[in-house]
Structure 1
Amino acid sequence: MTSPADESPLVENVSYPRLQARSLRFTLGVPRDLTVSPDGSKVFFVRTPDGSTRTGSLWAFDAETGEEACLADATTLLGDGGEELSAEERARRERSRESAAGVVAYSMDEACTVAAFALSGKVWVCRTDSGQAAALPTAGAAIDPRVDPTGRRVAYVADGALRVIGVDGTLDYPVVEPDGEHVAWGLAEFVAAEEMDRHRGYWWAPDGESLLVERYDESPVATWFVADPADPSRPPVEHRYPAAGTDDADVSLWLVHLDGTRAEIAWDHDTFPYLTRVSWTPHGDPLVQVMSRDQKHAAVLAVELETGETTLVRAQSDDVWVDLMTGVPAYAPGGRLVTIEDHDDTATLFVDGAPVSPKGLQVRRVVSLGADGAIVTASEEPREVHVAAIGWDGEVVLLTDGPGVWSGTERGGTAVRVRASLDSPFPAVTVMRNGSTVGTIASNPLDPGFQPEVRFLEAGEDAIRTAVIFPRSHEHGNVARLPIIMNPYGGPHAQRVLHSAKAYLEAQWIADQGFCVVVADGRGTPGRGRAWDRAIRDDFAGVTLDDQVVALEAVADKYGADVDPTRVGIMGWSYGGYLSALAVLRRPDVFHAAVAGAPVTEWRLYDTFYTERYLGHPDEQPEVYDANSLLNGLDEVGDLPPLMIVHGMVDDNVVVAHTLRLSSALLAAGKPHAVLPLTGVTHMTPQEVVAENLAQLQVDFLRRSLRA
């Protein structure tokens, strides 16, 4: 592996917040989207040339020689004009939190002879044997191009239509086109992309002769308007947003042949309105997973291709919610049906309806399925994630060794292992061929200039995994006690306390400004089983805040000589922003200042799939929504500790109405507070200057408020 110290020296006189924004949180220059060819001879990946250039290119690593080659240099292909994105592509990238440019994703045929990707709305194909890349004469601004498994054609979406073109550029035509003003084919609807971790809207047949294609109609969805008040001449952007308790998009799935004939895939849409997963492997009929609106019931259905009818092959239910998992459901070789389901409070690998992995091994995702078993990522200790092979007979073999957060892929005798650890903020990407290490794929990220120093503890009776970060110059017991900054996400299905140094870079920078920073993963976070993550049902405000208090008390107890529990601040973004504002509103006796970034303040304004999973339907449980809202009970709040609320004015996920309504309610209750609007900023803040100044303003606010 190329040393970051050799390739990416710290940029002199540039602050850490600016480096973080410039490097997209130190992801630039790092290999991503790894694909191994069927014979294991090549590993394909995307990487930017260094840690500050956002334009990614397609690369290949030779598993025989250990050499790298750039197959498609996006900068060269784009030329002097640079990259221009359509509004639809910008929205799609916002859903996936993608801020990079150039080649950000690609698809390949089964043999990995052809790769396809989008640049500036054009479809490009690259021959992997020669590295020759060419733009195809496609129509409109192309989105999500995908090569068919046989390598003959590329499908892509443009103007709501799904089109197909030959890899040689011949015969570009629509196989299905919009049949309504708010209809789109081949794309994932808003809640699928934002909350289901499903960013695709079409799937090729293994023989490349047909496709399963999503059709969604947003006509039933309420129209919201996202405006930029900093530019009053610019009209608001119409945005269909399915808020909790309101109508979702009408979603259906169709079998579409290349001649344009199609048949709808049949299931009970009234019972199962959500299309959550689609899988089409050579080992059986296509599989779809559909889910009820309350998310307590899901059905895995096999599709009969001749008629479009479906057959139930696996019913899934839970009295709280059914979890959506990555890589399943799917058919493995031999026609085995593979799912991940709860069993003995453990996320367990199931084969044909029977559990095969052991209790206590929390399976997080299926990486691949083979003749002998599955490759998965899994945890026993939630702070670590390992790659493991689980045989169909239940035998488990760990494929990674050493603490850290591991991922990877393998095929044809070649395995790629990616390790994030506490030893370095940079991941190590190792390639092994037939069990022997061939080499490493170079990473060239920016150097943040320091290594986080992290201490762990397990707080309270529930052993809440907690990370504690002091200033690197701190002399324990020999200096004045430090104010504490709680820095949570703290919400469901998101984890921050991991054995990965990169996860604590920002926390270390904050700590170095004169604080003890605490990151705690309370109930609702993944990796600890069904009872743990479902404890938050109906009670965001109670459970997640209580767990932050428990973690704080444990830190104060363990490091009493070093921290001052009479000076406690809290800062976070998104759910962490909600939790931060909640902390000073509900527990001002514990929290003495807060910075709330892009907070959800009224859950009736957040989307259906996320909100109703945890709080139910607002018409059925209005009292639950009232209890978890930040807008209620403000007259009962005494002296409000200093509170700064930060929000991007063009955020289309957590719209700025959340902050404006909270500010109005606080003003009506006579509670002083500060609001910092970020003009032209969405739910992400990738702009360097904005990110730098915002970070410093937040720290300065907490320093003043806590007398640091």
Structure 2
Amino acid sequence: MRIFRPFALVFFMGIFLVSAQNKQVTLEEIWGGAFRPAYMESLTSLNNGKEYVVQHYDRSNQNMRVDAYSYETGEQTRNILSSNKIKQLNYFETYQLSPNENFALLGVNTEAIYRRSTRAIYFVYNLNNGENIMLAGHPVQEPQFSPDETKVAYVYENNIYVKDLASGTTTQLTQDGKKNEIINGITDWVYEEEFAFVRAFDWSADASKIAYLKFDETRVPEFSMDIYGSYNNQLYPSQQVFKYPKAGDDNAKVSLHIFDLNLKENKAVKLPKNYEYLPRLKWTKDKDILSVQALNRHQNEMDLLFVDATSLEADVILEERDEAYVDVTDNLTFLNNNSFIWTSEKDGYNHIYHYSKKGKLINQVTQGDWEVTAFYGFDPNTGRVFFQSTENGSVNRDVYSILANGKNKLRLTPKTGTNNADFSADYSYFINDYSSVNTPSVYTLHQAKNGKLVRKIQDNSALAEKVKDYGFSPKELSTIRVNGEDLNMYMIKPHDFDENKKYPVLMYQYSGPGSQSVANTYFSTNDYWYQLLANQGYIVVTVDGRGTGFKGAQFKKVTQKELGKYELEDQIAAAKLLGERDYIDENRIGIWGWSFGGYMSSNAIFRAGDVFNLAIAVAPVTSWRFYDTIYTERYMTTPQENPTGYDENSPITHVSKFDDTNHFLLIHGSADDNVHVQNTMQLIEALVQENKQFDWRIYPDKNHGIYGGNTRLHLYTLMTNYILKNL
């Protein structure tokens, strides 16, 4: 349904807030970084636990530095690295210290591959004598020091190599690596994207062995993308071709291998089952015992395996089973006696467990109707476990410590909001990043034993003072009762809100499994855009419906095999309830989202056109048949098993229901290697064949993030104008 009314379309870039008493805000300011907060530079704790190191660039003398600072005082204690003092290098981009901090791997000419993977030229710098040697004469991936610091392993052209630092000799461990066929030691595209896993090799504790995964991609279908390049230097498009297994198709065949460097033997490990996925491998405290997390294709059966590197026998130490799916954990931590810490949702909420080296449960460390959201580590000196949780409400985060026996839990962060901790290596200190809807990030140093404040490191008082001039509205946190659940919601109103007026509403949502958009944190960049819209007379609302995270496994996993069904029901019901409020115009409710959120907004405008009269979908999935195996099948099983679940929840299925007197804007990047532009093209074709009128925009050579140069400014100007004109 279309509401006809006068409007003023803003064609210029500097869209402003109409307010006599407040400073104007523009899209150029938002996307130019005017509201970028001060933040702690990425820091790494040194082994002594008393110092941390920070990398920074000194523009005055064009010097890249890594300096050490005292936790207690914040004062610089020494310089660790300085590019001006390193032979063969004028600069470096990345650094990695060796286990005993005697060497550093320095990366230059870093090139991004996919979301998490890079390749670069690396140098090995001796911090004691200043010697600097090139690791290889070409870009390589994922270099890692051996535990004894005598060697560095890396991957080049899908094969694993080891360089001996004393002799300078390099040994090639695997021979069969080949692009789009065989990968050794790093993961394929889908593992990297969905398991957040790139380096697929690991050194044993005594540096005598390397365990690694081999991916045989020969049966995985290929996907190709045209790269158009710039007008001035590319007459013909090039093509990027890579293996991408879509739901129901063949995955790469993955196998586990152990290379013995002393014996120069490379052997395959026979596992107790034919597992589909091996998403984690990690050596235990025992130099001969390797741990492996292994999953079936449905990802609802996970085994923790211990592999004896001598006999090559693999035993199932722990089993996790779930009717829906089991999440891979990054929290597996081995204690000195080879007992281990594990996190699991098996009691309905994500909690910490302590198991013996034989896999026998020693103790459930945490429990309650709340979630452990981060595991920070175990201090062997005090026997305390450090973690972050939602015990103070699902929109909040606090840092706690607790004894491994589950007793003497201590809250270390007193302020309600979002607290994120970074601990020193010896767990004597932690740096806390605190924010709330009213407070931009404040960085403070605390004693880990009791949370006592040691010193304030940095705050964003300057930003807080700056935004006062703009008259921004508070982000109001609340809940809304929908379909039997109290759903978390935030609302941003115009700064001159009048409850006697009626306002249009723009709803933002992501809605993906386990996600969270409503949280007690300070503004993101999008929030400043919402402030701009609010002060143009819009109310902006976000509701986290069923399927989102941090409210227990049942709430999250209710969407199993029906991805998009219950999430859409909740957005529709929430919009209807909002429309009943006196100050909301029920005939002017829009919805937008990106990726999964774009999938949701597409479905909303097609299937609930009587509720929503505008939708914007950026980089949307339009059929789960087009998306990858690991993500999609985790929630939907395969399309062969669940065709109805795939098709009934696809926006393409419902284009005939689209009332094109409503407004739909569809946006995608042509080089999106994650959610392929194929999704948008198929939806466009379906709409065309139904003769449905809509708007669309393709950004050439832009990936899933759609950024670079002026791209974000252009994109948000497009969306702003569209909303001002049509909602």
**TM-score for the superposition, normalised by structure 1:** 0.85
Which residue number in structure 2 is paired with residue 7 of structure 1?
none
Whether 1:525 and 2:548 are equivalent positions in the alignment is: yes
Classify 1:331/1:80 alpha carbon distance in 2 versus 1 (closer, same or farther; 3 Å): closer
Q: CA deviation at 1:203?
A: 1.7
Give the deviation of 1:318 after TM superposition: 0.5
Which of 620, 625, 635 is 1:614 aligned to? 635
SS at match of 1:463: strand
Which deviates more from structure 2 when the two are superposed, residues 149-158 or residues 652-661? 149-158
Partners of 1:437 and 1:517 lie apart in 2 by: 37
Q: CA deviation at 1:324?
A: 2.0
CA-CA distance at 1:154 after TM superposition: 2.5
CA drift at 1:520: 1.6
Does residue 474 in structure 1 map to residue 496 in structure 2?
yes
Query: Which AA in structure 2 matches 1:410?
Result: S
Deviation at 1:589, TM superposition (A): 0.9
Q: 1:644, 1:56 → 2: CA distance?
A: 45
SS at match of 1:626: helix
Give the counterpart of 2:338 among 322, 329, 335. 335
User: CA–CA distance in 2 between the matches of 1:569 and 1:49?
Assistant: 47
Q: Secondary structure at the match of 1:635?
A: helix
The answer to whether residue 140 in structure 2 is matched with residue 142 in structure 1 is yes
Alignment counterpart, residue 657 of structure 1, candidates 675, 678, 691: 678
Q: 1:399 to 1:126 in 2, by over 3 A?
A: farther
Asked whether 1:375 is paired with 2:386, we answer yes
1:587-666 superposed matches below 5 A: 587-639=608-660, 641-666=662-687
1:384/1:66 CA distance change after superposition, 3 Å: same
Separation of aligned partners in 1, 2:583 and 2:418:
30
**1:115 partner letter:** A
| Amino acid paired to 1:378 | S
Deviation at 1:563, TM superposition (A): 2.8
Displacement of 1:348: 1.7
Gaps of 5+ in 2: 1-22, 110-119, 356-360
Question: Shift of residue 79 of structure 1?
Answer: 10
1:583 to 604, 629, 633: 604
Which of 94, 108, 111 in structure 1 is aligned with 2:100?
Answer: 111
Q: Describe how 1:298-697 pairs up with structure 2 within 5 A.
A: 298-328=302-332, 330-352=333-355, 353=361, 354-371=363-380, 372-380=383-391, 381-395=393-407, 396-407=409-420, 408-412=422-426, 413-426=428-441, 428=443, 430=445, 432=447, 437-439=453-455, 450=467, 453-460=474-481, 461-471=484-494, 473-477=495-499, 480-503=501-524, 504-557=527-580, 560-639=581-660, 641-697=662-718
1:586 partner letter: R
Conserved? CA contact 1:117–1:145, under 8 Å: no
1:60-80 Cα shifts (integer Å, max 9, x gaps):
332254224664467998999
Shift in alpha-carbon separation, 1:192–1:75, aligned structure 2, 3 A: farther
Who is 2:204 aligned against? 205
Give SS of 2:374's match.
Answer: strand
Based on CA coordinates, which of the two structures has the bigger radius of gyration? Answer: 2
* Counterpart residue type for residue 496 of structure 2: H
Give the deviation of 1:267 after TM superposition. 1.3
Q: Which residue identity is paired with 1:226?
A: M
Q: Which residue of 1 aligns with 2:75?
A: 67
| Partners of 1:426 and 1:445 within 8 A in 2 | no
Q: Find the aligned partners of 1:442 and 1:178 in 2 and give their Cα distance.
A: 51
Q: 1:288 Cα shift? A: 0.8
Shift in Å at residue 216 of structure 1?
1.4
Aligned-partner SS, 1:502: coil
Q: Please report how far the alpha carbon of residue 397 of structure 1 lies from its aligned counterpart in structure 2 after TM superposition.
A: 2.2
SS of equivalent to 1:430: strand
Write the letter of the residue equivalent to 1:388. Y
**Equivalent position of 1:178 in the other structure:** 176
Looking at structure 1, the residues matched to 520 and 65 of structure 2 have their Cα atoms a distance apart, in angstroms, of: 29
CA distance in structure 1 between the partners assigned to 2:251 and 2:604 by the alignment: 32
Q: How far 1:251 moved relative to its partner? A: 1.5
C-alpha distance in structure 2 between counterparts of 1:400 and 1:505, whole Å: 28
Rounded to whole Å, the distance in 1 between the matches of 2:225 and 2:377 is 41
The answer for the alignment partner of 2:154 in structure 1 is 156
Query: Cα offset for 1:311?
Result: 0.8
- Could you tell me how far apart the structure 1 residues matched to 2:715 and 2:213 are? 40
Give, as a single letter, the amino acid of the residue that structure 2 aligns with 1:347.
N
Question: Could you list the per-position Cα deviations for residues 245-300 of structure 1 after superposition, in whole angstroms to 9, with x for gaps in the alignment?
Answer: 00111222222233542222331453x21012222242673211100001110100
- Counterpart in 2 of 1:98? none
- Check conservation: 2:545, 2:567, Cα contact below 8 A: yes
Partner Cα distance (1:28, 1:174) in 2: 45
C-alpha separation between the residues in 2 aligned to 1:598 and 1:161? 34
* AA partner of residue 314 (structure 1): L
Quote the residue 1:192 is aligned against.
191
Distance 1:72 1:433, change over 3 A: farther
Pick which of 216-225 and 19-28 moved more: 19-28
- 2:45 corresponding residue in structure 1: 36
Q: CA deviation at 1:366?
A: 2.2
SS at match of 1:367: strand
Say whether the 8 Å CA contact 2:606–2:654 is kept in structure 1: no
Alignment size in residue pairs: 662
Once residues 368 and 124 of structure 1 are traced to their aligned partners in structure 2, the CA distance between those partners, rounded to angstroms, is 31
Letter of the 2:510 partner, please give it: Y
Aligned 8 A contact 2:305 2:318 in 1: yes
Q: Identity of counterpart residues, as a percentage?
A: 23
In 1, distance between residues paired with 2:445 and 2:125?
A: 25
Displacement of 1:15 after TM fit?
7.0
Secondary structure of the 2:597 match is: helix
Deviation at 1:591, TM superposition (A): 0.8
Give the Cα–Cα distance (whole angstroms) in 1 for the partners of residues 131 and 39 of structure 2. 22
Q: Is the 8 A contact 1:518 1:552 kept in 2?
A: no
What is the TM-score with the length of structure 2 in the denominator?
A: 0.83
Q: CA offsets per residue over residues 389-420 of structure 1, 9 Å max, x none?
A: 23221122222221222222233223232323
- Deviation, structure 1 residue 124: 3.4
What letter corresponds to residue 419 of structure 2 in structure 1? W
| 2: CA distance, partners of 1:678 / 1:544 | 28
Identify unmatched segments of 5+ residues in structure 1.
1-12, 84-101
Counterpart of 1:3 in structure 2 is none
Residues in 1 aligned to 2:82 and 2:227: alpha-carbon distance in whole angstroms = 35
Shift of residue 612, structure 1, vs aligned partner: 0.7
Return 521-530 or 338-347, whichever deviates more. Answer: 338-347
